[in-house]
Amino acid sequence: MNTRKVWFITGCDSGMGKAVAETVLEHGDRVIVTARDPNNVTELAQRFPETASIYALDITQAAQVREVVANAERTAGAIDVLMNNAGYGLLGPAEATSPDEYRPLFEVNFFGMAEVTRAVLPGMRKRRKGHIINTSSSGGYAASPGFAFYAASKFAVEGFSDALAQELAAFGIKVTILEPGSFRTGFAGANLKKPKLQIEDYAQTAVSLTTTRMAQRDGTQPNDPKRLAQVLIRITDDPSPPLRLPLGEDSIDRLEKKVAATAAEFQQWKAVALSVAFDAPK
């Protein structure tokens, strides 16, 4: 019996998306490889002519999203796994970041992801099966200074995906939220955008520490995107995949600290929280 899956992966121009597409193709599955510039993935088409289908896709263009998904379903058949990977980072103080800089971030990181998901869902729902993998970040669970808008876009991915998993459970469709730590891609380097406005007051704050840490991390990140891809292959074969999946020791450490701090704060303020009830003692 042919158990080959069909994957639809966004943002394959470079980095994590390209590494996942390549690894899945090496595994023997079929991949709908989408990229803003198809020239960035021509070698995948050459190496895997029978299993790699290349499409130009700007996920912020809803009509193009629907067209590409429809074409992919016609040529490759059912889409078994959707990996919403396309996204980028924006580092700088919230005060210094203009709408012209943060709104495009949300168009890619959240709204584009939502439209790709909506385009793929009818086919999965009809077949009563499928797996949607949405790429958040450890920063989508525990925010860092300097990443206010990036974290907000990934928090949106988290909330959307959490509700989506509950909506789709009745149809046998699985949802997994990836919360990667630092992976060796271009995220911390050339691909990381920054606001044009510089506000000197932030130079000696935690925002500056984040900026320095990201610059030092570029090219030395501890985690391997191809090993992440191998994990994804494993969880798509699991009948009970996780809803949330932190990836990397740095992510686990960061999220565990966030959970512990949140639990402690809830406990500290529990009496105040309960005091709002009509029958609470004055």
* Both tokens assigned to 96: 């210094």
Beta carbons of 177 and 162 less than 8 angstroms apart = yes
Residue of 102, 141, 150, 202 marked catalytic? 150
Short-list 140, 107, 131, 106, CA closest to 255:
140
Short-list 53, 46, 49, 58, CA closest to 10:
58
Residue of 5, 18, 55, 136 marked catalytic? 136
Beta carbons of 32 and 72 less than 8 angstroms apart = yes
Residue of 141, 154, 161, 251 marked catalytic? 154
How far is C-alpha 179 from the chain's CA centre? 7
Is position 138 annotated as part of the catalytic site?
A: no
Is position 251 annotated as part of the catalytic site?
A: no
Helix (H) or strand (E) holding 53: strand 52-56
Is position 18 annotated as part of the catalytic site?
A: no
Residue at token pair 């869902």: 121
Q: Which residues belong to the active site?
A: 136, 150, 154
